[in-house]
Structure 1
Amino acid sequence: MPENFYDLLGVSDDATQAELKAAYRAKAREYHPDVNDDDRATAQFQTIRRAYDVLSDESERADYERLGHATYVKKRMKGYPSASRWGGDDESADASGSASTTSGSSAASSRSSRSTTSKSTASTNRSSTGASSSQTASTAGSARSRSTRRRSSSRTSGATAGGHDPDAANARARARQARRARRRQQRNKTDARSRRRRTLSYHWASVLGATILYVAGVAQFLLGQRPALESFATELASAPSTALTGSFGLTSLLEFVLASAQTPAATPEALLFPVGAVALPLSLVVTVSRFGKGATWLYAVGSFAPLAALGLSAALATMVAPTLVLVVLVPVLSASLFLGDVGRYLWATR
């Protein structure tokens, strides 16, 4: 009789769901009543099916391992498995055959003894009686020996079936501990990935806020330089080489920042550009240093272009084309690429 559900399916107690399914299919092909003519095939197939139903359900499997085979079957299942389903007691059949043979031999000996007694003398009767006593004693000794062997075999089988084998019990306990350790490790990895993704989403939101703040400040600066930008566009259409180096009356970026900060009636809107020019590279540097590596630093490098434009405007004559590239194109493009790449990752792993 199988020791537990794992032995019944022929798998180890740390088998995966795929291994359990493959083993169940193999056993079903062997014991299904349509292909197995044994009278016990139906009961055996049902027993295999019940074992697979328990092990294929993660919660039931956990309860089965926690309670142990004997306790689980006693509490939640009835009639699993009976000896009649898995071959019966062969020893009993042997004992019955031996008893029948002994009975037949005794009957034949009795008939022979009666015939001999009617024809023999008193001395022959005494010899026959002695021989019969010896045969009876030998038969009784053989029966006692067989009974002793059956009791010993029953005790051994009972100990194994009841799960009292120390080596097997220790092996199952170690396997359960290993499975639990793997599950804990997997849960820890999942939790760590979840925390990392949540933190990255917060940093992404901070970069988005800094980008919006900076774009608002740049828009404020460009609206104040509308005449210079219109002259630049007209010159660019007629003489591109001259337009790339002309200032067209564009106000220096540094002068714009200082004027916004020193105006007596300065409003918070006047500080949008300088605050955004600092917040954008700061948020990108913090995010990339924590989550990125290698080429991702290009996002942060591009965000420093407005600060470079401020430095150049103090040292060189103000030119429209370089100012537009450093103040608008490079930082806005870097921030947009960062927000798009990280946003797609967060969306895919939500």
Structure 2
Amino acid sequence: MPENFYDLLGVSDDATQAELKAAYRAKAREYHPDVNDDDRATAQFQTIRRAYDVLSDESERADYERLGHRTYVKKRMKGYPSASRWGDDDSASSGGPSASRGTSTTASSRSRRASTSTSTTSASTASTSRSSTDRSASASGTASSTSSTGSSRSRSKRRSSGRTTTATVGGHDPEAADARARAREARRARRRQQRQKDQVRSSRRRTLSYHWTSVLGATILYVAGVAQYLLAQLPALDAFAAELVSAPSVAALTGSYGLTGLLQFALAAAQTPTATPEALLFPAGAVALPLSLVVTVHRFGSGATRLYAVGAFAPLVALGLSTALAPMVALALLLAVVVPVVSASLFLGDVGRYLWATR
């Protein structure tokens, strides 16, 4: 009888789902009652089907490997497959092909011995007719002794051969069996650990993808708010660009050129009678961008990756400085546009490449 379901299907205990399916199909073609006339074909096919159902289900397969074959069969399958379904007992009782060959060989051996004995008797009779009675008796005694000795040796050899064959076929090496069991258990433990690692890695990657999506949404929200602010400050930006091109100096970099501060722009847009939700794009983005980056970096990042979150706080710094300092075009562009947008873009690019590579 097969030792376990893997032996029943003829696959190793680390077989993949594709290998299990191929082995099941091959066994089904062999044992299906429509193609197999054996009386046990139906029971054998049902057993093969049950074994495949267990191994093809990941949770059932895990329980099967955890409990072991005997315990699993006893608790969940009420003891089958049994030896009678695979003909172990029947072949032993009826003999089968091996028994037939053994009987034929024995009959042939007996026939040869009978023929040899007849030839020896005829030769002994002919010799008796040509020789004296004493020499005939002596020769007959010698032949009988030789024949008896040969028969005794032949029986001894057959008994010895039978004992050797029995020891070879029915022998059991406990140490080898224990070694195989330990090796199987070690492979199953490694597979369980690998599955657990894969599940943890998949869950972590899925969570990171959610955070990456939130950062992308916050970045889009912030860029839309900054674009709205810059469009409202086009005259000041044009004057700053012209001054910087014609006479680049420190004064050109520190000039306001009629620029409205970030905080003043946000408050004015929110307090107008015709204020719309679009007016809150910049303040909402200035809060959502650093918040999403801080949460993501705190959970998944380490080392230099924390600089992404530091850069995202630049818009809040710009809002704070706009209340304490006169508006400066260069400083506003640096803190409100360059630093946060570059930081968010680098983060989205790095994490996006990782998610794409591990998909």
TM-score, structure 1 length as denominator? 0.65
1:280 partnered with 2:289: yes
- 2 CA distance for matches of 1:126 and 1:280? 122
* Residue in 2 that maps onto 1:179: 187
CA drift at 1:118: 3.8
- The one-letter code matched in structure 1 to 2:315 is P
Indicate the SS of the match to 1:221: helix
Deviation readout 1:263-297 (Å, 9 max, x if unpaired): 45543222211111111011111111122222211
Give aligned pairs, total.
Answer: 273
Q: How does 1:25-40 map to 2 (within 5 A)?
A: none
- 2 CA distance for matches of 1:250 and 1:132? 134
Q: How does 1:35-50 map to 2 (within 5 A)?
A: none
Asked if the contact 1:252–1:318 (Cα under 8 Å) also holds between the matched residues in 2, the reply is yes
CA drift at 1:203: 0.8
* Residue in 2 that maps onto 1:49: none
Indicate the SS of the match to 2:299: helix
- 2 CA distance for matches of 1:126 and 1:111? 13
- The one-letter code matched in structure 2 to 1:115 is S
Asked if the contact 2:124–2:140 (Cα under 8 Å) also holds between the matched residues in 1, the reply is no
1:209 partnered with 2:221: no
Q: How does 1:283-298 map to 2 (within 5 A)?
A: 283-298=292-307
1:341 partnered with 2:353: no
1:153 partnered with 2:164: yes
CA drift at 1:134: 2.6
138, 150, 155: which one pairs with 1:139?
150
CA drift at 1:312: 1.8
CA drift at 1:109: 8.5
* Residue in 2 that maps onto 1:234: 242
Name the % identity: 63
1:246 partnered with 2:255: yes
- 1 CA distance for matches of 2:151 and 2:345? 99
1:189 partnered with 2:197: yes
Asked if the contact 2:253–2:329 (Cα under 8 Å) also holds between the matched residues in 1, the reply is yes
- 1 CA distance for matches of 2:184 and 2:230? 69
- The one-letter code matched in structure 2 to 1:184 is R
CA drift at 1:101: 10
CA drift at 1:106: 8.8
Deviation readout 1:66-98 (Å, 9 max, x if unpaired): 8xxxx9xx79xxxxxxx99xxx99xx89x97xx
1:119 partnered with 2:118: no
Asked if the contact 1:159–1:165 (Cα under 8 Å) also holds between the matched residues in 2, the reply is no
Mean CA deviation greater in 148-157 or 201-210: 148-157
Asked if the contact 1:201–1:346 (Cα under 8 Å) also holds between the matched residues in 2, the reply is yes
- The one-letter code matched in structure 1 to 2:309 is A
Deviation readout 1:188-217 (Å, 9 max, x if unpaired): 222222222211111111001101111111
TM-score, structure 2 length as denominator? 0.64
Mean CA deviation greater in 339-348 or 269-278: 339-348
Point out where structure 2 has 5 or more consecutive residues left out of the alignment. Answer: 1-11, 17-54, 62-68, 70-82, 88-96
CA drift at 1:184: 2.6
- 2 CA distance for matches of 1:15 and 1:335? 45
* Residue in 2 that maps onto 1:314: 323
CA drift at 1:252: 1.9
- 1 CA distance for matches of 2:343 and 2:310? 8
RMSD between aligned residues: 3.9
Deviation readout 1:149-189 (Å, 9 max, x if unpaired): 121122123225xxx54444433333333323222322222
- 2 CA distance for matches of 1:140 and 1:233? 121
- 2 CA distance for matches of 1:217 and 1:124? 133
Indicate the SS of the match to 1:322: helix
Deviation readout 1:111-130 (Å, 9 max, x if unpaired): 36743664324x54444444
CA drift at 1:332: 0.8
Asked if the contact 2:233–2:260 (Cα under 8 Å) also holds between the matched residues in 1, the reply is yes
Deviation readout 1:280-317 (Å, 9 max, x if unpaired): 01111111112222221121111111111122222222
CA drift at 1:135: 2.5
Indicate the SS of the match to 2:258: coil
- 2 CA distance for matches of 1:168 and 1:103? 48
Q: How does 1:79-118 map to 2 (within 5 A)?
A: 107=119, 111=123, 114-115=126-127, 118=130
* Residue in 1 that maps onto 2:227: 219
Relative CO higher for 1 or 2, CA cutoff 8 Å, sep ≥ 6? 1
* Residue in 1 that maps onto 2:36: none
- 1 CA distance for matches of 2:345 and 2:255? 29
